[in-house]
Each structure stands twice: as C-alpha cells, then as structure tokens.
Amino acid sequence: MNNLFTLAEAIKLQVKHNLPGIEAHKTMLPEGRTISPNYLDNIKSYKKSAVFALLFQEENNINLLLTQRHEYNGKHSGQISFPGGKKEELDENLLMTAYRETYEEVGLNEDSIELITALSPLYIPVSNFFVQPYLGFVSNFPKLILNQREVKSIVKFPIHAINNPALIKIKKIEASSGMYLTVPAFVIGQHTIWGATAMMLREIGEIIKPIGI
C-alpha cells in the first residue's frame, strides 16, 4: 500500500477493533523494566504531554516524521522523538497540546494535519511525563520551519520498514544519569530510536501489520 489516504482510512478501520497498547509497548522496554496492564492507574502525580506521529508521502514512499533533539543538559538530550511536549494551561486538551507543539517545533499548523486516531498513552519514569500520542497525516507536505532551539534535524522513518525485525537491535545506551541501559531500539541508518518513541513505533507497527504495508 503506497497511498497515504488509503492507508489512513485502513488504519481508522483497524483501530476500531482495539489498540495494541501495552502489549506492543512491552517489546521495547529497557532491560529490567516491566509494566502491568493497569500501571497507569497507579501513577498519582505526573506532568501531562502529547506528541503527534505524522505520516507524509514523498513520491511513492510513506514516512513518519520524527525530530532529533539538540544535545543539552536534560533527560532527553539528543534523542529522537515525535514532535510534541508539555501541556500548557491554555491548551484545552492534550490534542491541542499536540497541535500546538507540532507547530512550534516544525511549523506544521493544525489546518495542515488530519487526525487519524489517538494511540495508547504511556508513562516516562525518568522525566515523570504521562504522554498521549496521536497519529495523523499531512497530505500536502510543506517546507518545514524548524525551531532551532529545540530541533536539530528531521528524521524520516519509512513506514514500510516498521515491522522489519532486522531494524530492531539490542543497544547499550548512555542515559542522562551517566548509567548505561540495555535497550531494544530501532536502528535506521545512523539513527537509534529507543525508549518511549520506540514503544509508540511498535504500537503503530502492530496496528498496520494486518493492513499489509
């Protein structure tokens, strides 16, 4: 399937059955970490955030849009993630957070994004964020305007490769604490995608698996 609109409609039909959720997330957890089916219910205090996983088409190729962060003194320095960030008081809901943050980071406004579905939320212990991901697509992909303070570069993840097991490697990653973690990660060229973003990618992969990309 190499048509963006056809894929989006197929995903909408697929998610009516159920979201893979935690079962997909588990496959990309760092070594030694486990999550129970109701683990989100046991988290009492957290910061809310949202991200947008956006599909776009270049010729016959459909990709997901990710961003690479600059190196900085923080928990997620240099990591690859979907556009998004922390909920602000003026955001009506987490979907508005995802739209606003996407515009601020890469210059795509709400009018250019078609929402497909909400994905399963997840929790990031190291930064105490509850993250609500959304999946959408951009039909007319404009030139991006990168926030130079937050975004170092754009990473294009080919959707046809998302279920290729050869892309998932076990890597040793240096965390912000200086400790090394053993994690499953997607390796695309020179890019290593792990943690929450990899967990979201696995859920998207499970959703589209029956569609046959």
Q: Is the pLDDT of residue 93 over 80?
A: yes
Average pLDDT over the chain reads 90
The answer to whether residue 50 scores a pLDDT higher than 90 is yes
Provide the CATH number for the domain around residue 148. Answer: 3.90.79.10
Instruction: Determine, yes or no, domain membership for 21.
Output: yes
Task: Count up the domains in the chain and report the number.
Answer: 1
Is 191 within 8 Å of 68 (Cβ atoms)?
Answer: yes
Check residue 39 and give its pLDDT. 86
Across 32-46, b (16+ Cβ under 10 Å) vs e yields eeeeeeeeeeeeeee
Look at residue 76 in the predicted model and tell me its pLDDT: 46
- Report residue 180's pLDDT band, with 50, 70 and 90 as the boundaries: confident
Q: Which residues contact 17 (CB under 8 A, 6 or more apart)?
A: none
Pairing of strands 180-188, 114-118: unpaired
pLDDT at 174 over 50: yes
Q: Give the other-Cβ count within 10 Å of 158's Cβ.
A: 15
Answer whether residue 165 is part of any domain: yes
Q: Which amino acid, one-letter code, is at 196? A: A
Task: Provide mean pLDDT across the span 150-172.
Answer: 93
User: Would you say residue 90 lies in a domain?
Assistant: yes
What pLDDT score was predicted for residue 192?
A: 94
Average pLDDT over residues 21-47: 89
Q: Is residue 49 part of a domain?
A: yes
Average pLDDT over residues 5-15: 94
- Grade residue 126 by pLDDT with cuts at 50, 70 and 90: confident
pLDDT value at residue 173:
85
pTM of the model: 0.92
Can you list the alpha helix ranges (DSSP code H) found in the chain? 4-15, 22-26, 94-106, 195-208
In a domain, 213, yes or no: no
Looking at residue 198, what is its pLDDT? 97
**Any domain includes 156:** yes
Domain that holds residue 11: 4-208
